[in-house]
Amino acid sequence: MIIEAVDLFYLSMPEITNEVDGSQDALLVRVSGSGLTGWGECEASPLTSIANFICPKSHGAAHPVSYSVLGQELNSPQDIVRISNEVREKSLTILQTPHTFSGIEIALWDLLGKYLEEPVYKMLGFDKTFSKTPYASQLFGTTPDETYEKAKSSLKTGYRAVKFGWGKFGIDLTEDQKHIEAAREGLGKDCKLMVDVGSVWKEDLNEASSRLDMLEKADVQWLEEPFYTDSFSAYKGLSQSTKVPLAGGEGCHNPLMAKNMIDFCGLGFIQIDSGIIGGIGSAKEVADYAVSRDVQFVNHTFTSHLAFVSSILPYCGYEDFIFCEYPVQLKPLAWDITIEHIQLNDEGKIDIPEKTGLGIEVDVEGIKPYLSMVKIELDGKEFYQTPSL
């Protein structure tokens, strides 16, 4: 099979706010070959990645991503590995490349699975999949009372684990304490509580350390992203002074970055987004490495269920990796991207679809109201125009 076309679609809510919510817009990828179609989603600034896909080359290591994808043969998983390596080599100095290619790579797996009539998890080498325990991933409330109500609602819905993140957490010690206490009170003593601070402390070990006591008393499962992704010494220092496991890695945009975090940051959990790191194959490489280093692998995702499935596939065959992020505050756009949605089973867990490819289909009619029309020209030459759905 030949990769005949790669189409990018910029989707957006009518208004984009400053809320740290990646489900407000999306960049969908459609890859076509042999009369079949595969879909993927980039975790990316849509217009930036469109430019990355079609831009004129600047030099030998700054080609557009399209240069290494269009016209390639796609007949086996090894072809995806080969294409991935070529993209990295030919577009090495364009920093947006991993974000852009991640969605394309995911779509390649979907297309190949349909072509070979195999689910992606089997092409990754797994014989079977294991259910994951979803944690209801959401933002802290604007007040401790709102955080309490969110926690109580999540528990009532049936979640056994809940994560609160971002908001104004990490700025005021007293307010932080109130939010943590409210979350624990709302969840009760048995529900797992995770906390994501979105790198709010940058590299400040003292600020992070001042919250450790409250986190330990609340029996927090992990503290996520206390520092920037590459703040290795801060991560390591904090890990040596707390019983609360640290989690991080969503910002890793290649497997080596993630492996370095595993080796040098003292993490208990490595969190990888298939839409950032280079796709499903790169995420699987990190999951395999996490096994060898006795570190828990967890997905990162905060957009559609297309992205959600893509983020779980790299570790779905590992029984000991038990948690998965499950966003519960999606904007309508993110929900409307797919026809199917992955719901909790009777045991309150998540199962991977068994169908060929990714096992989940894009709702073409459902996304049309969100489609942004884009046209890019240079010196009178058209480089991109929004394709037809």
Per residue in 196-223, pLDDT tens? 999 999 999 999 999 999 999 999 999 9
pLDDT of residue 353: 94
| Tens-place pLDDT, residues 21-78 | 889 999 999 999 999 999 999 999 999 999 999 999 999 999 999 999 999 999 999 9
Domain spans of the chain? 5-118+363-385, 123-336
User: Cα separation of 214 and 202, whole Å?
Assistant: 20
Q: Do domains 5-118+363-385 and 123-336 have the same CATH topology?
A: no
pLDDT of residue 276: 98
Burial class (CB in 10 A: 0-12, 13-18, 19+), 260: middle
- The share of the chain scoring above pLDDT 90, in percent, equals 99
| Tens-place pLDDT, residues 272-294 | 999 999 999 999 999 999 999 99
Lowest mean pLDDT among 14-28, 214-228, 370-384: 14-28
Closest residue by Cα to residue 374 from 77, 8, 75, 111: 8
Number of Cα atoms under 13 Å in the Cβ half of residue 210: 14
- Residue 304 pLDDT > 90: yes
pLDDT of residue 21: 87
Question: Looking at residues 121-145, what average pLDDT do you find?
Answer: 97
Residues in the chain: 389
pLDDT of residue 45: 97
- Classify 184 as helix, strand or coil: helix
pLDDT of residue 193: 99
pLDDT of residue 167: 92
Provide the whole-model pTM: 0.97
- The share of the chain scoring above pLDDT 70, in percent, equals 100
Number of Cα atoms under 13 Å in the Cβ half of residue 152: 10
User: Cα separation of 128 and 294, whole Å?
Assistant: 21
**8 Å CB contact between 297 and 286:** yes
Question: Looking at residues 374-388, what average pLDDT do you find?
Answer: 97
Fold designation for 123-336: TIM Barrel (3.20.20)
pLDDT band at residue 20 under the 50/70/90 scheme? confident
Q: Give me the residues paired with residue 32 across strands.
A: 5, 37
Average pLDDT, the chain: 97
The stretches of the chain forming alpha helices (DSSP H) are 46-54, 77-90, 97-116, 120-123, 144-157, 173-187, 205-209, 212-217, 232-239, 255-264, 280-292, 305-312, 332-336, 364-367
**CATH superfamily for domain 5-118+363-385:** Enolase-like, N-terminal domain (3.30.390.10)
